[in-house]
Amino acid sequence: METPSEAIVIRDLWKIYSRKKDLRISSSDVENEERVEELDKGEDAVVAMKNVSLSVNRGETFIIMGLSGSGKSTLIRCLIRLVEPTSGEIIVNGENVTMMHKRELVDFRREKIAMVFQHYGLLPHRTVLDNVCFGLKLRGEEKEARRAKGVEALEQVGLKGWEKYYPASLSGGMRQRVGIARALVMDASILLMDEPFSGLDPLIRRELQDEMIRLQKEMHKTIFFVTHDLSEALRMGDRMAIMKKGEIVQVGSPDEVIASPADEYVAKFVQDERDQVQRAEQVLAREHTRKEAEAHVS
Amino acid sequence: MFPESFQVHVAPAVNRFINDLIAAYAPVFDSISAGILSFLLTVSEILVFIPWWGYILAVGLLSWYSSKKFVASIVLAALPFLIGMFGLWAMALESLSIIITAVLMALIIGLPVGVLMAEVRIIATILRPILDGMQTMPSFVYLIPAMMLFGLGRVPAVLATLIYALPPVIRLTALGLNQVPKPVEEAALAYGATRWQLIKEVRLPLAMPSILAGVNQTTMMALAMVVISSMIGARGLGQEVLLSINRIDIGRGFEAGISVVFLAIVIDRLTQNMAKRWEPPKR
Ligand SMILES: Nc1ncnc2c1ncn2[C@@H]1O[C@H](COP(=O)(O)OP(=O)(O)OP(=O)(O)O)[C@@H](O)[C@H]1O
Ligand SMILES: [Mg+2]
């Protein structure tokens, strides 16, 4: 058994996508370094995740960051096996996810974990409330009970009164609130979020980040959060991992990563943020001297 | 001229094969035939039981309910009245009963097959060329096997119509199921949907507009076929057309022909409006 302080443990996780029908890739391919290189170079397969090991503590918000195509979505989908890992081990709450049979996996997805998607994934033919209750319905809960929970969750994300609308009549930000409510209502201890705010404009994004931070203060869930936006990572994350071409290049607290980037790739990511901080400091300093000067004059 | 000595006929062999087939499986064909006939008679009884104004009312109300267009509904309701004015009411009901029977059977067979086609790759690979073939074949070719196995009359007409009208339901059901947006499907799986739940809660409802488009096509094709199947002795509007061709009675042919068109318009409008109602709300 795992030590209970770790909600998610990932060991030596690999994912190689096959792009050809008859090309089957198994864990034995991963063990052979030359074979991996060959696949990586060729057109027939994509090595999306290489040898990823991580552990996420209970109650923390863990950020995965990386450029487009670095394998973030692959990693987060592997956690509930929406993507089948090629090899490696995933342990969630002490349960070995990689070993689960179909039925166990369905139960695991229904009970232990909830996910929020970049493209919302709402059902267009169901009302907002039915969308929120969807997971509970799959789980087989009674209609009255799940409606009550759904209404409560909608209130939590600030969508009271929108129960009877359809997703098409909602703005992007509101749709994602529905997505979040759908995850919260499951009452799972682990929340997976794959770039949940990337498609939203900056003001709404900020609003939803604040909302998540506020909710997290009450909920203390374990949040596994994928983003490619460093400022988002800094606001939300307790710890973060940076991915590059399928590999983890650095793990640490946001401060650590900014202060001492592990390599050039990370440094480039961080550079922007540093520039901004610098500029903000300059502006503040200028403002300060201007104010002082004004005070002198008067 | 093509030399006569080169002629080779397969006709006797085919005839013998069919005769043997019928002899060997007579009970099977009989029971299929009896089943279809009793289905057809039930449908026909119900249709005859409804008074003529019931149809006018039903068409008008259904159209109003599904499209909310007043004038269009009135016009649509007037069409069956015109058929009655031509004195072709009974004929139209006869055709309608064959269409309804064939379409219901096409749905009963076609929907599950469409689901299987979308779900199982091998079935799709096998079925696709067969469906293509079925649709490119000239429609009256279907009359031959139907007639050979079931003789003349309404039963082979239903069967030929069924075979002809089946491909669009299967095809559009499979298409609709495969067109469900990936993120929606993924979200359902992430929340623990089983394969069956995914079909029932997500894919079928989202495929509904496409499926109903299939129903619409199927019905229209059934209507076309029902006219042609008058050649094997099915009564109805088609028979009227055929008779007036034989007697070179242009006026009578016109009345029958335009009645077929009216019937087609009514059925097409109603099924299309229904399909629209099933589309996910845009607001
Ligand atoms: N189903 C698939 N089949 C083949 N290749 C895939 C598949 N899914 C992803 N890939 C490839 O795997 C790599 C990693 O993709 P992934 O979606 O995990 O990246 P990401 O970090 O989430 O990127 P983004 O920021 O664009 O979402 C990419 O090169 C992508 O093209
Ligand atoms: Mg992604």
Query: Which of B184, B190, B208 is closest, CB to CB, to A115?
Result: B190
Cβ-contact B143, B156 below 8 angstroms: yes
**ipTM > 0.95 (yes/no):** no
To the nearest whole Å, the CA of A144 is away from the closest chain B CA by 19
**Fold (topology level) of A6-112+188-297:** Rossmann fold (3.40.50)
Banded model confidence at residue A2, pLDDT cuts 50, 70, 90: very low
- The residues pairing with A223 across neighbouring beta strands, listed in sequence order, are A61, A191
Counting ligand 1 atoms within 8 A of each CB, the residue from A16, A41, A74, A230 with the most, and so the one to mutate, is A74
Distance B107 CA to ligand 2 centre (A): 40
Give residue limits of the domains in chain B: 4-277
Residue, of A42 and B195, whose pLDDT is higher = B195
Query: What is the per-residue pLDDT for A226?
Result: 95
Give residue limits of the domains in chain A: 6-112+188-297
Query: What is the per-residue pLDDT for A113?
Result: 94
For testing contact with chain B, the best of A79, A125, A136 (most B CBs within 10 A): A125
In tens digits, what is the pLDDT along chain B, a chain of 283 residues? 788 888 888 888 888 888 888 888 888 888 888 899 999 999 999 999 999 999 999 999 999 988 888 898 999 999 999 999 998 999 899 899 999 999 899 999 999 999 999 988 899 999 999 988 887 878 777 787 788 788 888 888 888 888 888 898 999 999 999 999 999 999 999 999 999 999 999 999 999 888 888 888 888 888 888 778 888 888 888 888 888 888 888 898 899 989 999 999 999 998 888 888 777 777 6
Smallest CA-to-CA distance from B169 within B131, B126, B226 is with B131
Q: Residue B154 burial by CB count (10 A; 0-12/13-18/19+): exposed, middle or buried?
A: buried
**How many CB pairs below 8 Å do chains A and B form together?**
75
User: Which positions in chain A touch B210 (Cβ < 8 Å)?
Assistant: none
pLDDT tens-digit readout, A55-78 = 999 999 999 998 888 999 999 999
- Residue A117 is given by DSSP the state -
How far apart are alpha carbons A104 and B95 in whole angstroms? 54
Query: Which of B183, B190, B280 is closest, CB to CB, to A125?
Result: B280
Query: Per the structure block, which two tokens stand in for B92?
Result: 């139209």
Smallest CA-to-CA distance from B155 within B210, B235, B266 is with B235
Instruction: Tell me the average pLDDT across A102-118.
Output: 94
Query: What is the per-residue pLDDT for A82?
Result: 94
User: Sheet containing A87-92: which strands, arranged edge to edge?
Assistant: A45-57, A6-18, A87-92, A95-96
Beta-carbon count within 10 A of A298 CB: 4
pLDDT tens-digit readout, A254-287 = 888 888 888 888 888 778 777 877 888 888 888 8
How far apart are alpha carbons B131 and B146 in whole angstroms? 18
Cβ-contact A149, A186 below 8 angstroms: no
Phi and psi at residue A289, to the nearest 5°: -65, -35
Residue, of B141 and A250, whose pLDDT is higher = A250
Residues of A with CB under 8 A from a CB of B: 80, 82, 106-111, 114-115, 117, 119-125, 134-135, 137-139, 166, 168-169, 182, 186
Query: Per the structure block, which two tokens stand in for A9?
Result: 């443990």
- Whether residues B188 and A121 touch (CB distance < 8 A) is answered with yes
Cβ-contact B95, B237 below 8 angstroms: yes
Q: How far is CA B25 from the centre of its chain?
A: 27
How far apart are alpha carbons A110 and A114 in whole angstroms? 8
Ligand 1: residues whose CB is within 6 Å?
A 17, 19, 46, 48, 66, 68-74, 228
How far apart are alpha carbons A17 and A34 in whole angstroms? 17
Average pLDDT, chain A: 89
Instruction: Tell me the average pLDDT across A71-89.
Output: 93
In this structure, CATH architecture of domain B4-277: Orthogonal Bundle (1.10)
